[in-house]
């Protein structure tokens, strides 16, 4: 799901499989957090405010 979200924004990535001894429930929590943070980050990048804030920092 994270890969497809990135792909929809033109970002190509590969998420590698976790080691077999890694608990699946922990892996799912990590993926969920990554997905939530990624959605928020992409929303910020897509927003008009991002460019305006960036220009203010330079000047």
In the prediction, which pLDDT does 41 show?
75
> What is the DSSP secondary structure assignment for residue 22, as one 8-state letter?
S
Its domain, for residue 33, covers: 2-58
Contacts of 21 (CB under 8 A, 6+ apart): none
In the prediction, which pLDDT does 30 show?
67
In the prediction, which pLDDT does 34 show?
74
Q: What are phi and psi of 23, to 5 degrees?
A: -65, 130
In the prediction, which pLDDT does 36 show?
75
DSSP H stretches of helix in the chain: 2-8, 24-46, 48-58
How confident is the model over 11-58, as pLDDT tens digits? Answer: 555 555 556 666 667 666 666 667 777 777 777 777 776 555 555 555
Token pair recorded at residue 22: 């890694």
Across the range 3-14, mean pLDDT stands at: 61
How many domains is the chain partitioned into structurally?
Answer: 1
């Amino acid at each position: 799901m994270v890969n497809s979200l990135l792909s929809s924004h033109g970002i190509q990535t590969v998420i590698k499989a976790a080691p077999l001894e890694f608990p699946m429930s922990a892996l799912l929590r990590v993926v969920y957090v990554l997905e939530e943070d990624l959605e928020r980050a992409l929303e910020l990048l897509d927003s008009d405010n991002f460019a305006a804030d960036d220009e203010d920092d330079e000047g």
